[in-house]
Each structure stands twice: as C-alpha cells, then as structure tokens.
Amino acid sequence: MSPDAPRPEPLAKICEDVRHGRVKAFDRVAAFLTAISQRDGEIHAFNEVFEQHALDQARRVDQLAKRGESPGPLAGAVIAIKDNIVMSVGKTTCSSKMLANYCSPFNATVIERLERAGAIFIGKTNLDEFAMGSSTENSAFGPTRNPWDTSRVPGGSSGGSAAAVAARFCDAALGSDTGGSIRQPAALCGCVGFKPTYGRVSRYGLVAFGSSLDQIGPFAHSVEDAALVYDELVGFDPNDSTSAEGTNERLAGKLGQPIAKLRIGVPREYRSDANSPAVAAVLEKSIAAARAFGAEIVDIDLPLTDIGISTYYVIAPAEASSNLARYDGIRYGHRAKLEAGEDLEDLYSKSRAEGFGPEVQRRIMLGTYVLSSGYYDAYYKRALQARRLIKDEFDRAFAKCDVILGPTSPVVAFPFGGKKDPLSMYLCDVYTVNTNIAGIPGISINGGFAEEGGKKLPVGIQLQAPAFAEETLLRAAAMFERA
C-alpha cells in the first residue's frame, strides 16, 4: 500500500449512486470478493467470508433500486463485522476455540439496524480472543497482518476490522472498543476508528468482555464515512439496559461546518518521552495544523493518565472473569472429553483450559483474584474510586477546552512478537483506556506517516470530547482531516 493512493469515493456518494441505479451493489460486492480472494490469504482479516449471503443482499438492494424504492441510506455499503458481534448468518467465534462452532440464533441490534439501512455484510473479521489484546496475535485462528507491512501487527483487538478497511476489502467495518480496541488498530492501519459515548450504541448482541467499558463503533476511510455508519447505529434500545435515551440527530451532513473558536486541549502528559520520535513529530505537526485552521491550543493537565492502565487492568479483568464464567462446557461452547474416573469439576477445568487461550486465562485469573473476598477492597473497590477521579479529571479539562488532542498510540505498528511482555503490550493503550473508563467518545484519524524498515507506516492522532458531544468530536475530526 502507498500513502499516495487516492482515497475511495465518499460512501455517501456511493450509496446515492446505488439508490439511483447508477452503480450496481452486486458489482461492488463482486469486486470486494475478488480483492479478498486475492489478498486475504496473506492478511487474514476475515475469519469467515459471506460470499453467497453478500451477493444475495446485493441483489435485493439492486431490485429495490430498480423498482424505484429506496433501499436505505446505506444502500449497497459493504460492511465487515467483528467476530464478537452475533449474527444469525455464519458463526460467531470471538476468535476462540471455546466458540469455534457457535452459531447465533439471532442478530445483534446493530446488525438489524444496518440491514434495515441497506448495508451488505461481507464477513466476520478476526480479533484477539474475546477482544483481549492489542495486536490480534491472540486469535485462536492465527494473527491478522497489517496491510501496510505484513511483517507487523494491525493492532487490536479489532485488528481484522481495521485491516479489512485499510486493505480495501470493504467500505467500512464494525469493531468493539473496551480500552482502545477500535482506535488503536485504526491508528496502526491508517484508517478512521470511532468509539461513541458509552450507551450511545446498543451492546445487545455484543459478546461481553467488560460490560461497563464495551462499546461498538465503526471503522471507515474518512470521518464522514464513519459518521454515516454511526448515524444508523445510534439510538435507544430497550434490549440493552445501559442504552442511553434521548433524541439522536444525524451528524454526517453537518461535518462540513467548521467549529468557530474551537478550543483544543493538549495534555502535557500526552507529550510523553514514551512516544516514539515518529509519533511525537506527528503530534506536533497536528498541533501546528490546528493553529493554522484557527483553533486555540490550550495546555491542560491529565495527571491520572499514568494510572489508567492499572485501573483498567483491575476493572476489565474483574468484569471479564464474571462474564466468561458462563463458558463451562455444559450449556454451550467447547466441551472437553473426560477420562474414566473424572468428574464434573474435571469437565469444567478441562473445557476452560482447552477452550481459552493464554491471554484470556491470564485475565480471568487476575479478575477472579481482585474480586476475591480478601482483596476486593484493596483492588476492585479502589479501582472504582480511581475511575471516579479519572472521570472528574476529564470534566475539569473539558471546562477549558472543547476537545482533547493527543496520540492514539505511543508507537507505530510493531513487528510480530515485538511485545512479548504482557505489560509492554498493555502500555500500547495508555492514551485510550481512560476514554472508556470515563465513558466519553474518542476518534482516531490518520495524522501522517513514519518510515521504518523501508516502509511508510501510519501514525494516528486521537480526539476526545465530553460525553454525548459526538457532533463536536466529529466536526473537529473533520477539520483535522481537511487540514
């Protein structure tokens, strides 16, 4: 891939052309399927490709357009789905042996909404097992490779979705973000990754990891494309007890309106020595670009940035240990074979040991430990108190600025095996986890490129905004994209 390659046509124009019959959805799907067949053997963005289903959906869209009926605002948009979002088509594996043969009897709310809008689903994308990881190396079905340099990781846990968009296997993709799992791979793959406010998009049908942190969001080629998909996802869902009520304006059409007197906060903590030289250079370039388009740069402090990782790795594993307790080898999921003399307890332990990979086992054990009676107050309760302080810190910061600017990741895409120590891998999310802890929206866009090993690699910049301020966030991101 080359940074000089032209960006695909805006998704809004593509969908308009499909609605008016100027472009055939069937032809577009066929072209994407050809691209996948030619290159996904090298990249492994997909766990499963829905060739026949996607072509059937495309035929239906084209038939509606031919009859003069509108197939919907996303008519003919080809979308890949992270393999932890349930669909009644194909399997939902979470890239785990535990669910290797699981077929969902229902669709997630986001799938129903996209289908009503005329979207076409081309397949399920690879991820770190149960969304636990930052490199997509933890998949039970093998790693996904970065389309910019296949010797490097695409980020994670939604690495398959980011790679599918970056490799132009689809128009957009869905991912889930628990501590940066949309934004970090978007940064490493050079596309847009948008995590909405917690509760804005229904989690019904998302296989749970950390229920107070998980959020579904889109990957796309541009901020406008991401907003177009988001407009169809957002809204209250009675099936999700954490779904936020209230009206939701459509935002994609508003992104051309610059924000007058935009105040951009730059935390001193985000100009860290931990950032690679390439990331530091792109951040300074982005600050200069913001000044050039008339924004006011405000120096702010987020001193709790450094405790975000430790807070997250108490709360998220605690919730994971509870959510993953249901996979016991009895009701569904992988079931081990017992030897003579083994009992029910052996069935539980063998099924879980065989079904879960090392990183998932690590987090289950960590979560079980911090929730245990002797350590609950020392770890879990204290982490919840830290969470409150982190949220208050963001509230104080947003009193001084409209959005916060910083790197998405402190490093560019790293080689496979480059982060063997779990802590070094966890630190890749140092700038993203607090967004989830505070429940606020964040977006990563491509801020430039760095040359490493003879290849140009994308560098992501992240914007964050107050809860439910998606319009401000997306309009600000569009200003950066134009600059």
* Sequence-separated (6 or more) residues with CB below 8 Å from residue 6: none
For residues 58 and 25, the answer to whether their CB atoms sit within 8 Å is yes
Catalytic-role residue among 95, 135, 161, 181: 181
Rounded alpha-carbon distances, angstroms, from residue 239 to 197, 202, 322: 18, 8, 20
Q: What is the set of domains in the chain, with CATH numbers?
A: 11-253 (3.90.1300.10)
**Does residue 322 have an active-site annotation?**
no
**Does residue 254 have an active-site annotation?**
no
Q: Is the pTM of this model over 0.75?
A: yes
Instruction: Give pLDDT, residue 1.
Output: 66
Rounded alpha-carbon distances, angstroms, from residue 246 to 215, 217, 235, 468, 472: 18, 19, 8, 10, 17
DSSP H helices in 100-182: 109-116, 159-166
For residues 177 and 423, the answer to whether their CB atoms sit within 8 Å is no
**Does residue 82 have an active-site annotation?**
yes
Nearest to 124 by CA among 109, 141, 137: 141
Catalytic-role residue among 104, 134, 157, 444: 157
For the chain, give percent helix, strand, coil, nearest 5: 45, 15, 40
* Sequence-separated (6 or more) residues with CB below 8 Å from residue 420: none
Helix (H, G, I), strand (E, B) or coil at 14: helix
Q: How many whole angstroms separate alpha carbon 406 and alpha carbon 412?
A: 14
Which phi and psi (to 5°) does residue 143 adopt? -75, 160
Helix (H, G, I), strand (E, B) or coil at 373: coil
Q: How many whole angstroms separate alpha carbon 195 and alpha carbon 435?
A: 9
Nearest to 65 by CA among 14, 2, 108: 14
**Maximum alpha-carbon separation in the chain:** 74
Catalytic-role residue among 24, 82, 195, 419: 82
Nearest to 269 by CA among 449, 107, 36, 430: 430
pLDDT in tens, the chain (483 residues): 667 777 899 999 999 999 999 999 999 999 999 999 999 999 999 999 999 999 999 999 999 999 999 999 999 999 999 999 999 999 999 999 999 999 999 999 999 999 999 999 999 999 999 999 999 999 999 999 999 999 999 999 999 999 999 999 999 999 999 999 999 999 999 999 999 999 999 999 999 999 999 999 999 999 999 999 999 999 999 999 999 998 778 999 999 999 999 999 999 999 998 899 999 999 999 999 999 999 999 999 999 999 999 999 999 999 999 999 999 988 888 999 999 989 999 999 999 999 999 999 999 999 999 999 889 999 999 999 999 999 999 999 999 999 999 999 999 999 999 998 999 999 999 999 999 999 999 999 999 999 988 889 999 999 999 999 999 999 999 999 999
